[in-house]
Every structure is written in C-alpha cells, then in structure tokens.
Amino acid sequence: MNNDDLRTYVSALSAEISFEEGGQYLTVLCGTNEFRKLMERLRYDAASDFDYMFCLSGLDWKTHFQVVYHLESMKNGHGLVVKLKVNRENPEAPTVCDIWRTAEFHEREVFDLFGIRFKDHPDLRRLFLDDTWGFPLRKDYSDDKTIVQL
Amino acid sequence: MNLFDDQPTKFVESEEDFVVNVGPQHPSTHGVLHLKIKLEGETVRDVQPHLGYIHRSIEKMSEAGSYRQFSYLTSRMDYLSSHINNQACALAVEKAIQVEVPERARVIRILMAELTRLASHELWWGATGLDIGAVTPFFFSFRDREAILDIFEETCGARLTMNYMVPGGVMIDIHPNFQRRVKDLLPKLRKNLKEYDELLTGNIIFEERTKGVGYLSPEDAVSYGCTGPVARGSGVRCDIRKRYPYDGYEKVQFEEIIETGGDCYARYKVRMREMEQSIRIVEQLIDTIPEGDFQAKTKNVLKPPKGEWFVRVETARGELGVYLVSDGTMHPYRVKFRSPNFSNLSALKQMSVGGKMGDLVATMATLDLVIPDIDR
C-alpha cells in the first residue's frame, strides 16, 4: 500500500486517532486508550501485516512524553510511524512486547532513560543504570557531578 | 546495577539452580557483556544479559553538541563499522538540511564503507575461530585487516575511530596512493579468502560445533528485530543496501547473500560470502572515482528546520537507524540510534535455551556482538 491507501486503511481502524503531516513516513498520533487495539490490528491484519518494528524511541516534549514506534512490513514493503502520547505526571504506557518481541529490550531502555513504565511488561527493570539513578534523557534532568556543561 | 536482586522476575528460583556468570571480562564476549546463565547439568535453561558496563549515554551527549559534532561520537559505538556509523549521521543531517552530495564523495563513501565491512568481517572470522578453539585464524585475519587499516590510516589519519564522513561529503580528499594500494590489496584478499575456507570452513570439528547450533527461525528473526548476517542466515531479505539504497548503492552490482539454515554455520557462510561481494563492489568503483569536489558547500552552523528524519544504513552487523528530531535550533532535540547489536542480542535467549553451554559460546561468536554498540 502507498501512503494514501495506508491513511484510509488506518483511519478506518479507530476513530480517535489523528495524523501528523510532513514526515517521511505516514505518522499516526494516538492516545493510550485505543493504542493496544490499534497495534494488534496493524500487526495481525493481513492487509497491513507490520511484522517488523525497526525502532522504538522515547521523546520528551517537556509538556508530555511520546513513545515513537517505527513499523515496517517485510512482506508488503510499507512503513508507518505510530506516536503514542504519554502523560508526564504519571508516565505509563501499554506494552507491545507480546506483539513484537524486540520491544522487550527497547521498552526496558525507554523505561531506564525516560522513566516511562510499560504496563504488563514481563521484566521491567533498569537496563543500563543503577536503580538509584534519575532518568537522564528527560529534558529537566540535571546532574552537576557527572555532566560538565560546556 | 543490582546484580543480586532480580525483581520483578526472579532469576534464581530455588537453591538447586546452578548459575554461571560469564563476563563482564570474558574472552568469548569480546567486551564488557555480563551474561547470567542458568544451567541444568550442561544444558542452558535461561540466559539473562546484564548491560550498562560501558554505557556513556551517547544520545544525551548528542543533544549537547551541534549537528556537525554528534556524528563523531558514533565512531565509538560500533567501532568496527565506524565509517558506516558516520555515514548514517551524515546522511541524516544532509536529509535535514537538504544538501546534494557530490558524486566523488558518494563513491568514496561506498568504497570506505565496503572496506570497513571487509575489515570487520575479517576480525569476526578470526575471533570466531578463537572462540571455537582454533587459534591460527586469528593471525591470518589480523594480517589482512591490518593491511586495510593501513589504507584507512593514510587517508583518514585514524585506524579505528575514523570520523571521516561529514555532512556534505567526506572530510578530506583521498590520499594519492589510495587507489594504487587498494588495487594491490584486492587480489591478495581474494587469494586469502580461499585460504580461510581451507583453514576453517571445511574443517570437520568446526562444522560439528556450528551446524544445527543456535537455530533462529525467520519469524523469530523478524520479531526480535534481528538484522544483518544474523537475519540473512535465517533467510530474511533485510539488506538495506538493496531494499532502500543510499549513496548510490543502486548503481553497483552485488548480490544479497541469503542462507536458509538459521544456525551458526549459516551465519558463518553469510559473512564469508559477503566478503566476496564487498571485494566485488570495491573492484567496480576503484578505477572510476569521478573527478570533482569531495565535499558540498555547507554553512558553518547547520540549522535544520523543525521536523524529524529517519535514516537507515547497513553496517557490518545489520541495520543502523538514526532518528533525528530537530526543533529548529543549532542543537539536535533528540537523536536516537537504533543499533543492530542491541536487537541481535535480544534473540540470544531464544537461540541458546535448550542447547549446551559450549553451543552458547558458538552462538555468541556468530552473533558478532560489539558491546559499546549495545550500551551506547
């Protein structure tokens, strides 16, 4: 499917999603409520068949967090980006590691560096850092001891 | 890192569980990777990697630097593919500021990238032999890798952390000796590849150690996000150079190597055959490097517009993705590196549970992990 077809297809899946313009891939904006259902449809429907998640990243927009999922279908050859908006006060997102197994490590990394908790993740521990450490990739993170400001 | 208390999942369930720690300093891990392995006799029941020993938060440091600076940090990620890491960053910034790279620079980039792939696979070949118990391959491979590094040194001034590819092209023009030295080297490498095969590929002990060991199915490879020779050994067509060509890979003739075995031997074969393809690519381009500029004219301070860009390249170990988010200032707002080793490592448990402890070492060898790329 090309981007226009994908757009009609994805907008039929859920009423509560919107699209972001101007990106390289078709970008879907989504909230935590409809997220799981949308991702399951994207993965298991034969028309979309997004079997390969090639990137999962966290983003801090100061007012809210975003978890960005880059998806691709090895068979159909199309790509899609899903952006999940996460509340900054109580950062919690549904896990997708039962759908794409690569998400298990990637979600642990996002938890480690942003402090976003993934609900129902089988093994949510810090991946790189100590339990007492803060969340360094947040924009308000400061560490006078180990970060030298130039 | 809390090594003793593994909440929420408890690694040690009862007192009979036998746990072996491999690493963080262990010859078969090629770096500071710590594996906790639960054994029953000699059979692996569970594997848990502990990461972070070499975590430097390159993503955070990138946010403090400028668009020119952050690519220099990436040479330190996968230090055996440093040219290709720099290339990915350069491509991302070029996409953001919309700069056309001169043809000469593009050809030099492919040449350097393929020589890097060769050097990396050669080191892997030697180290794999060493892991499995053959000492001689290590000397053979280092002899050949050394010759390639000498060529790099002449042009880039560095042997490991090259920092040669910059936004707009390459940093300096190639050394006058470059073409001659590469052309002298290629026939020797061709000859030596045959020697490699004689030494290790047909060896009965080596085949017994690798055939049918560490099986990874194509579905699992895709689900775990495995890329590069690991996924291609399981029959997944995932070469970014073929699927989404960059820097002119669409113009050169080469084959995407696919093996369907899914075991250690298949991954071994993929890399061995890939070396021949890299030589083939270099041979095609070395005589026809176009004349002209080696770098496009760019402003001193790069300021891309607001937006985001994703660039995918094929390093020696798989797909490296650079996700660049700009807020319109001179510093990147967010840089995320999707590193191939990180995803390849996550499949280790799938590949080794149920096998023997010695098979796990063989599996690790053919995964070809570079730890700084996992921790970043």
Least CB–CB distance from B334: residue in A53, A59, A100: A59
Nearest to A45 by CA among A79, A10, A81, A16: A10
**Could you report the per-residue pLDDT of B140-161, keeping only the tens digit for each?**
999 999 999 999 999 988 888 8
Instruction: Give the residue from chain B lying closest to A121, CA to CA.
Output: B8
What's the whole-number mean pLDDT along residues B100-116?
A: 91
C-alpha–C-alpha distance, residues B217 and B220, integer Å = 5
> Considering only CB atoms, which chain A residues are within 8 Å of B310?
24-25, 55, 70
pLDDT band at B5 (very low <50, low <70, confident <90, very high): very low
| pLDDT exceeds cutoff 90 at B86 | yes
> Considering only CB atoms, which chain B residues are within 8 Å of A22?
307
pTM, 2 dp: 0.88
Three-state DSSP class for B358?
helix
Least CB–CB distance from B51: residue in A59, A123, A128: A128
What's the whole-number mean pLDDT along residues B52-65?
A: 86
The C-alpha of A27 sits at a distance from chain B's nearest C-alpha, in angstroms, of 11
- In this structure, is the dihedral angle defined by the CA atoms of residues B94, B98, B99 and B100, taken in order, positive or negative? positive
- The predicted pLDDT at position B203 comes to 85
C-alpha–C-alpha distance, residues B267 and B124, integer Å = 12
* Interfacial residues of A (vs B; Cβ cutoff 8 Å): 22-25, 51-55, 57, 59-60, 68, 70, 74, 100-102, 104-106, 109, 113, 122-131, 136-137, 150
- The predicted pLDDT at position B115 comes to 92
> Considering only CB atoms, which chain A residues are within 8 Å of B60?
136-137
ipTM of the complex: 0.89
The C-alpha of B134 sits at a distance from chain A's nearest C-alpha, in angstroms, of 33
Instruction: Give the residue from chain B lying closest to A130, CA to CA.
Output: B1
Low-confidence spans in chain A with pLDDT less than 50? none
What's the whole-number mean pLDDT along residues B217-241?
A: 91
What tokens appear for B353 in the block?
A: 């549970």
> Considering only CB atoms, which chain B residues are within 8 Å of A74?
222, 236-238
| pLDDT exceeds cutoff 80 at B27 | no
- The predicted pLDDT at position B3 comes to 43
∠ CA B290-B294-B295, rounded to 5°: 140
> Considering only CB atoms, which chain B residues are within 8 Å of A127?
51-52
User: For residue B242, with 0-12 CB atoms within 10 Å meaning exposed, 13-18 middle and 19 or more buried, which class applies?
Assistant: middle
- The predicted pLDDT at position B30 comes to 72
| pLDDT exceeds cutoff 50 at B18 | yes
Do the chains contact at B222 and A74, CB–CB below 8 Å? yes
Q: What spatial distance separates the first Cα and last Cα of chain B, rounded to whole Å?
A: 16
The C-alpha of A7 sits at a distance from chain B's nearest C-alpha, in angstroms, of 19
| pLDDT exceeds cutoff 60 at B7 | no
- The predicted pLDDT at position B147 comes to 92
Nearest to B318 by CA among B252, B254, B234: B234
Least CB–CB distance from A24: residue in B6, B309, B336: B309
- The predicted pLDDT at position B29 comes to 64
Q: What's chain B's length in residues?
A: 376
